[in-house]
Amino acid sequence: MVLYGVLFSAVLGSAARAGSTAYPYPGGDHWIRQIDEDGKLIELNDRSLWVVSSPETEALAPWIPASEVTLQPANPDDSDEYHLINVDTHQSIEAHYVGQCSNADAPPGINP
């Protein structure tokens, strides 16, 4: 998990420098690939990376890898802010899209 934390840190740093980016695939047909141990970062099945808004990290407790999610834009003025909605629990959290994880970024044993 430490390697993954380093990966997320590198991606977050580059995303912050690049400015906001709209997520190209909102809607359904997504599932959680991984959640970091702090509950602040999520990777979806399409290798997209998301930062959970600070007050909502505790709400992620019942969310687990393989949970199906739907993505909806949260704010028309902020192109990288989305509602991630857990299809099973109907719980919604806000998160910011920070970019894509490439194959080269994947830790050993994790295939995109």
Write out pLDDT tens, residues 30-84: 999 999 888 889 999 999 999 998 776 677 777 889 999 999 998 877 778 999 9
Task: Enter the tokens of residue 73.
Answer: 């834009």
CA angle 1, 85, 14 (to 5 degrees): 45
CB-CB contact of 94 with 19 (8 Å): no
CB-CB contact of 94 with 74 (8 Å): yes
Instruction: Return the residue matching tokens 């970062």.
Output: 41
Write out pLDDT tens, residues 1-14: 443 554 555 455 44
DSSP state for residue 2 in the 8-state scheme = H
What is the predicted pLDDT for the residue at 103? 56
CB atoms near residue 31 (< 10 Å): 14
